[in-house]
Structure 1
Amino acid sequence: MESESPPLRLAARLPAVRAKLEDAARLLVCLDFDGTLAPIVEDPDAATATARNRNAVARLAERPDVTTAIVSGRALTDVRERVDGPSIYAGNHGLELARHGSIAVHPVARKRAARIERICSLLETALASVPNCRIENKRLTGTVHLRAVPAAAEPIARRITRRTVDRFGGDELEISTGKRILEIGPDFRWGKGNAVELIAADEPPGTPVVYIGDDVTDESAFRVAESDGIGIRVGGDEPSSASARVESPAGVASVLSWLDSLASDAAARSESAPGHRPENRPR
């Protein structure tokens, strides 16, 4: 496997991205929430998608030739309340998936939900003395939020969390890292990339995938998108499986508007092509 490189600014990749996407009959656009549609904030309950991103997502979701999905580490019920429009939502890093009017939960995650609840309860007590440390029980996964924890106390919180999960999680749970968070989840191979693969499998063959995210947990989804579409990382120039990047959630709104225009141009070319017949495609 090739080593990852820092993603280029999207402006530098635009000709290559356009070449991949502009002739596609359909697009699949998958979006993370925190750090992508919404700026990162100390209190996760206060996270809100920017107005421009909300409007851009709504416009894109209305297009019959674009499938729009939210793929988040948040619990499904949480993220669905924070952004309207998309027809598909994946919560808990893809362990729960809402589409076609139903919700699917990974069976292994369902079986280990009681262990997650116990670990979160134990951590509430074990980390009570760490200032501003918050434990979030998302039923299928748990998150230890460290963003507001003083720098001197953060190593202590990490050490206590790892010790607790090692002792009481057994072989059933694992810890993964993100931007000043520790994620506790079932110990088996599953992530956002798997969710994107499931969503993409419902699309017509040859549908390019665009995935936009900002964190380590988005890397598996970037790898899926880069096979026939594009992965776009939000933030710095650290090595990534995404080949392009934008600076912030403000840049995401511009990308979504550009994708809307790209899809409109493709639809106009298709309608003006000789022998074109209107076709109703399922969302």
Structure 2
Amino acid sequence: MTRAESSPRPIDEQLPRIRETLEGADRVLVCLDFDGTLAPIVEDPDAAVPTEQNRNAVATLANTPSVTTAVVSGRALTDVRERIDGPSIYAGNHGLELARTGTIAIHPVARKRAARVDRICSVLETALRHIPNCRIENKRLTGTVHFRSVPPAAEPIARRITRGVVDRFGGDALELSAGKRILEIGPDFPWGKGNAVELIAADEPPATAAIYIGDDVTDESAFRAVEPDGIGIRVGNDAPSSASCRVESPAEVASFLSWLGSTGAELVARSDVPTATPIEAQ
């Protein structure tokens, strides 16, 4: 069953449910978006770094025996791995690249269409060169057109040009999806962060509580993958979402992750302790 979209509640109001979920689990899977979640959104994507508090909290979780940590990002795998240490699993390009257990898997459809993504990114470099501060990021399997620093009057023009180029050269092989001040170019088939989270969760023991934290439209499929049995946490306002909880900023993400690495982990560890039978208790 999938949770219907509604306004996610502040995380403080959801702590009783979170505690109950952790108390009933043997392990926890914590999946984290990067930009806007561990790292504040910045004008230049190359300058994005996790806050020190999030870096420390992730390191603590990564060293907690009952916790599996994963980063699930729209960034290329090599990019996001350089920005945050600790997690045992990394999913890049919205899960089209998955690094775990010492191996890297690339979705075969995305691999086949990478040359077309590369061609479109090259065309866009030329077509958008007159748009101030418009940045095209070629991530090999996907591409991103960044509008965050584009003057407001020029942004609709840049978006129209981008859509025209993808329609002309992408055909049925590629599609556009929207994010926060970006357009994403990727292979046109049913795939998203939620699929990556489901793959990661499938390797965990049955009594594992799954938590996903993210801030953008592309995170909604991941919220749907963990809710309602697990916990989806949206970073941002109370707009309708498949996540049941929300925090306002990466700073509040750090606070929750710190709580999870201490109190939350203790709740899971406590659930692992066998209950004494009446004979044993005598």
- Same-fold call, TM > 0.5? yes
Q: Distance in 2 between matches of 1:225 and 1:173?
A: 27
Local SS of the residue matching 1:183: strand
1:186-240 CA distances to partner (integer Å, 9 max, x unpaired)?
Answer: 0000000000000000000121110000000000000011131100000111110
Q: Percent same amino acid among aligned pairs?
A: 74
Q: Does the CA contact (< 8 Å) of 2:133 and 2:150 recur in 1?
A: yes
Deviation at 1:4, TM superposition (A): 1.6
Q: Which amino acid aligns with 1:235?
A: G
2:18 matches 1:17: yes
Q: Which residue of 1 aligns with 2:259?
A: 258
TM-score calculated relative to the size of structure 2: 0.95
Question: Which structure 2 residues correspond to residues 1-150 of structure 1 after superposition, within 5 A?
Answer: 4-150=5-151
Q: Distance in 2 between matches of 1:116 and 1:129?
A: 21
Q: Distance in 2 between matches of 1:22 and 1:2?
A: 21
Q: Distance in 2 between matches of 1:140 and 1:269?
A: 42
Q: Distance in 2 between matches of 1:172 and 1:23?
A: 44
RMSD of aligned Cα (Å):
1.4
Q: Distance in 2 between matches of 1:191 and 1:29?
A: 17
Structure 2 unaligned residues grouped into runs of 5+: 278-282
Q: Distance in 2 between matches of 1:99 and 1:142?
A: 23
**How many pairs does the alignment contain?**
275
Q: Which residue of 2 aligns with 1:169?
A: 170
Question: Which structure 2 residues correspond to residues 113-262 of structure 1 after superposition, within 5 A?
Answer: 113-260=114-261, 261-262=263-264
Q: Which amino acid aligns with 1:152?
A: A
Give the 3 Å change call, closer, same or farther, for CA 225–2 of structure 1 in structure 2. Answer: closer
Q: Higher mean Cα deviation, 263-272 or 164-173?
A: 263-272
Give the 3 Å change call, closer, same or farther, for CA 113–269 of structure 1 in structure 2. Answer: closer
Q: Which residue of 2 aligns with 1:278?
A: none
Deviation at 1:248, TM superposition (A): 0.1
Local SS of the residue matching 2:38: coil
Local SS of the residue matching 1:112: helix
Q: Does the CA contact (< 8 Å) of 1:21 and 1:229 recur in 2?
A: no
Give the 3 Å change call, closer, same or farther, for CA 31–115 of structure 1 in structure 2. Answer: same
Structure 1 unaligned residues grouped into runs of 5+: 276-283
1:169-190 CA distances to partner (integer Å, 9 max, x unpaired)?
Answer: 0100000000000000000000
TM-score calculated relative to the size of structure 1: 0.94
Deviation at 1:271, TM superposition (A): 4.5
